[in-house]
Structure 1
């Protein structure tokens, strides 16, 4: 006889008390996770995913209450637990890893003390806790655990912080590990390592996982089954790969079609978006909760709420028309708008020999090293690379927020730009604008969106008179799909997608020539992300603006970028047309990034970083910057000589000692013998 499920959620109904009224956020949600199973919970922000996780920990906020149903952990109903038993539950059977590890760690305590404390809470004697903390750091693949135990959280990278939090969560040997967006904001390579680590620990500890994420490819890699939440209601459930291959609820199909699929590009395809928005918490619907946004909805859908119907293969769908859902999923993607034609063949931006050196602990550290490229009118140049590769530093130099080292040159339409924005003309300032990653932090919270945009129109477009400024504000709001109600609202009352639209509108207030987009969609749901990417493509098609698009999401870059530059430790190691970057040959670092790209068909990524090496460390004093992590390192020449940027094809450059023909063979998966490397023969 098999034991109880690690987690059973049975007809769970949760509401938050707001202004004297209960607002339902979960309605009759039921699912179970077997021991050792990974279960994914997906849906847009506001669907109730995190509330379900907090209910499983009995950790709802003060205004939250369970109105019906029950939660069982290892067969035990947690509603009847007293304070001591509840603390024992959270220290042992159930642990949670939150989205932001920096907020989960005490900044005033060293890492070793925090992990040791987690063991002590779980019952380990204090004299043994430090040793067990060190052993656990080794198990989560942290190199030099003795050194890391003596550090504070701010001295660790995001990936290292998340490993520490996972180590603390595993201290009580939990039967259920809840992960709430554990890789949001992490680089593709670090994200792949975290997936590998979670998969290995799951097998080693036989721990069940409740994995919450809006990143569907990520869920596809790690989860056996998924549940799709919409407005607090479970609308589809079943084996992950079967659902991803053929969804049976229109909402699931809509989420999947929002993704930038392989082979799709803004010039050939437009991303699907789910029309409308989630109903506000507490909204009561008579029929199907998704009917107002569903392309298949019939009058019956607005009158009758569908039951969760069992389907073959262990699947279920809450839809009257589930048999027709494949029509939506398999429909061809919409056509993109026609692109604006460039008026000139000259580059709009020229960058030559750009470097930036900072002082770190009394020593010089190059954040950017001799970077050169051109940007053409109406083009999108995607910049990719791990944290610390120099992407944001490059953006700051282009915008004049930081001055480059002497010798570097930035030209706008052939005219040199001063290194400081305060020394640039108004025309030059408005020509180069930026959209930041966090729109909430870049919009004045004390002013309405209309006043924020009005100020941008005064300063950037020079519109002093109220009438012309009002007309231009209306046109600008329409261009980014903001209505009058949005303009009258303060940013904090807007959703993440609407705030990002406002930030884009501000950047376009002065009719810029170039817009730097610094991770503009990293924290957005796939449906909102698709809408923002479509908006950026539309604005580019209408106005011929050029983008420098910085992102760690390679799928997004693949969809939006015309050319791609790959940065590693301040060096541009590869640059070329997007199709060439994807088809190869690749720089070994580019190949590592591409291997970390999640896909809906599942499967864990291969190891892409030599164990114990941290990408955030200082670059080597001589030779190739990637030598310590390169699986194809040639030897002395890589250690002693910096490789030149070699043309692999017209417009496609690779900075590597390995011959282009050999890189082509490596890209095809062929084995290249040592004696075949001309550079290795030269080194010997």
Structure 2
């Protein structure tokens, strides 16, 4: 297979002098071995009679068979790059200047028929949400066979090829899936189908726009491994757009960093992530919760300020208003594309001070202030944190929320399905309980039981401050409604897009107080928005006008409107870029310190859970298989299912494997519910006998036949020799 040239010859070295024209390319022209080449690409949208630039002088190339990652905050122009490549820009968008070449064809010069043939044979795209990419009114077989027919196959051949492609993307029962409707498939299965449709034309270039956002760790690992394997088999180039820097690090040979429509850094992924040469890249990398880092180590680093509005004109560096290194030179003169040799190829940075960008100060003043607040805790808590690596929660603190023997069954008789089985938990004042598990494990169902959206089966009890709560939301009193609130994964789904911020928060405040909205609440609304760091200038802005991070802050303000005792956070950061995620996590930690609120934090991101949670509970198929202090559960020894989640989170994506834990369904017999997928299965004992829930002195409980000491040794051996159990 032809590998891309990422060394000295990967790009022509640009003149170090500042360019006079924004359309001046950083390299000359497309090459014969380019799957994709952008040369000086500038794109604008016409809004209210004015053209606003969203991409400026973007030049990059992707060699055949190469994987290239494109990263940056939401609004930086990543998806616009993909849409421009396909000529799918909205009616008010246009390419102002530059060239786009796919496999040697000039995309901007193609007529309608040429563009149709290009999309049918040379380039395909996988979108972020597979559910919206599939037609809910058509079966999978109809949609997939259409993709092959568009590529030139006859209807009969299209059916055969559709079946073969589903098998190729590792769907175990292609016939059943082909006969299914989209809503009958899981998110991971839907994404595999969308990938199969994209591969129908055997494309030269595959564009993936946030393909794993919202997927749990095991499904994400499988999808990424699938893409890596197919890329090797088909010698296919991949443009991977993602805000997940870990995914980019695992999947891509080279990476480009976009900021406000400009490519500010580019180079081999290993070099860029090991020694970033632009302050923006450094800032993004520092926003990530490092493995092993918890709140006890201080607040996460964030990037101060906001992206400039599209079309903003600047004389100097576009990043200067947010940069901690900026001086007069940065504000007055735009930096040229500096190119330097790196261990694995050539690296580019648009920064006057690229040699010392890696030495960027660790935190800005706001972070330092929050870190100082975080350190203002009792001496005994400091000692506990030093010993455990977790923020200390006093065991003597009262239990705010207790749930015992919660089960939930849908349907009746032979068609009944138990989705939650005998789950019990306790949540103390000021504590965060992390809830992890794959999609379908019962995490959100448990949250709905606690909130009263569903009523538990007979025998299940939910208590608030020692008093039983009614099973149904409609039967709970105002105090109980104020005490338990929720922050949803997608703020767009929970906020009325047509209402201004003050009305959204005011309505939540009025409901929490059992009163009508009034002007007397203005001060309280302003106080809530200040607490979640929403600038006052957004008070009258409508939800649809806000960025993703601001929407989530408004949603958090709504949740805190009634001074809740417990806030359930259901994947509150999974759809946010890393800089906004860090700010939201810092915000949640600060509000917890200030108000003593408790969190039930649901997430598939184990590094985020490790950072924020005091204790962790692991759900599989509606059963609790492990629970205990976060450092014990995530540090091992752990249940084989937890081990599977941790391994998936750190999977390379380069060498896909199919072990016992990567497939199969939950066991329905009398034994361990995980026995059908367990990589450490002992034999008939696991199928026939339910394992005990064994607890150690620290309250770490594992439901497994294998003793904890033996699990520790097995997992240590696997870490030394990956792939062997």
Q: How high is the TM-score relative to the length of structure 2?
A: 0.89
Contact 2:224 2:653 in 1 (8 A): no
> Equivalents in 2 of 1:443, 1:605: separation in Å?
42
Deviation at 1:466?
Answer: 4.7
SS in structure 2 opposite 1:171? helix
Correspondence 1:325 to 2:357: yes
> Equivalents in 2 of 1:188, 1:375: separation in Å?
25
> Equivalents in 2 of 1:405, 1:224: separation in Å?
51
Contact 1:623 1:642 in 2 (8 A): yes
Equivalent of 1:106 in 120, 135, 146: 135
Contact 2:42 2:55 in 1 (8 A): yes
Equivalent of 2:437 in 379, 385, 388: 385
Pair 17,214 (structure 1): closer, same or farther in 2 beyond 3 Å: same
Correspondence 1:487 to 2:539: yes
Deviation at 1:76?
Answer: 1.5
SS in structure 1 opposite 2:297? coil
Deviation at 1:457?
Answer: 2.1
Equivalent of 1:256 in 285, 295, 298: 285
Correspondence 1:664 to 2:708: no
Query: For each residue in 1:473-528, what CA deviation from the matched residue of structure 2 results, as whole angstroms up to 9, or x when unmatched?
Result: 22211111123222212211111111111111111111111100011111111111
Pair 318,414 (structure 1): closer, same or farther in 2 beyond 3 Å: same
Contact 1:247 1:329 in 2 (8 A): no
Deviation at 1:256?
Answer: 0.5
SS in structure 2 opposite 1:548? strand
Correspondence 1:613 to 2:663: yes
> Equivalents in 1 of 2:405, 2:661: separation in Å?
33
> Equivalents in 1 of 2:351, 2:173: separation in Å?
53
Deviation at 1:329?
Answer: 7.1
Divergent runs of 4+, >6 A: 329-333, 339-343
Q: Equivalent residue for 2:389?
A: none
Contact 2:225 2:653 in 1 (8 A): no
Correspondence 1:626 to 2:674: yes
> Equivalents in 2 of 1:443, 1:119: separation in Å?
40
Correspondence 1:511 to 2:563: yes
After superposition, where does 1:102-251 map in structure 2 within 5 Å?
102-251=131-280
Equivalent of 1:35 in 64, 70, 76: 64
Pair 387,74 (structure 1): closer, same or farther in 2 beyond 3 Å: same
Q: Equivalent residue for 1:90?
A: 119
Structure 1 unaligned spans of 5+: 678-684
SS in structure 1 opposite 2:583? helix
Deviation at 1:425?
Answer: 2.0
Contact 1:199 1:222 in 2 (8 A): yes
Pairwise CA RMSD: 2.2
Q: How high is the TM-score relative to the length of structure 1?
A: 0.94
Deviation at 1:147?
Answer: 1.4
Pair 625,611 (structure 1): closer, same or farther in 2 beyond 3 Å: closer
Deviates more, 1:117-126 or 1:131-140: 117-126
After superposition, where does 1:256-335 map in structure 2 within 5 Å?
256-313=285-342, 314-328=346-360, 335=371
Correspondence 1:523 to 2:571: no
Count how many residue pairs are aligned between Structure 1 and Structure 2.
669
Equivalent of 2:594 in 536, 542, 548: 542
SS in structure 1 opposite 2:128? coil
> Equivalents in 2 of 1:603, 1:181: separation in Å?
15
Q: Equivalent residue for 1:682?
A: none
Structure 2 unaligned spans of 5+: 3-30, 379-392
Q: Equivalent residue for 2:373?
A: 337
> Equivalents in 1 of 2:190, 2:150: separation in Å?
20
SS in structure 2 opposite 1:625? coil
Equivalent of 1:556 in 603, 608, 627: 608
Pair 597,608 (structure 1): closer, same or farther in 2 beyond 3 Å: farther
> Equivalents in 2 of 1:353, 1:608: separation in Å?
35
> Equivalents in 1 of 2:476, 2:184: separation in Å?
36
Deviation at 1:319?
Answer: 0.4
SS in structure 2 opposite 1:348? strand
Query: For each residue in 1:585-610, what CA deviation from the matched residue of structure 2 results, as whole angstroms up to 9, or x when unmatched?
Result: 110000000011148xx664764753
> Equivalents in 1 of 2:412, 2:600: separation in Å?
28
> Equivalents in 2 of 1:544, 1:605: separation in Å?
45
Correspondence 1:368 to 2:400: no
SS in structure 1 opposite 2:34? coil
Query: For each residue in 1:96-146, what CA deviation from the matched residue of structure 2 results, as whole angstroms up to 9, or x when unmatched?
Result: 111111111122222122222111111122221111111111111000111
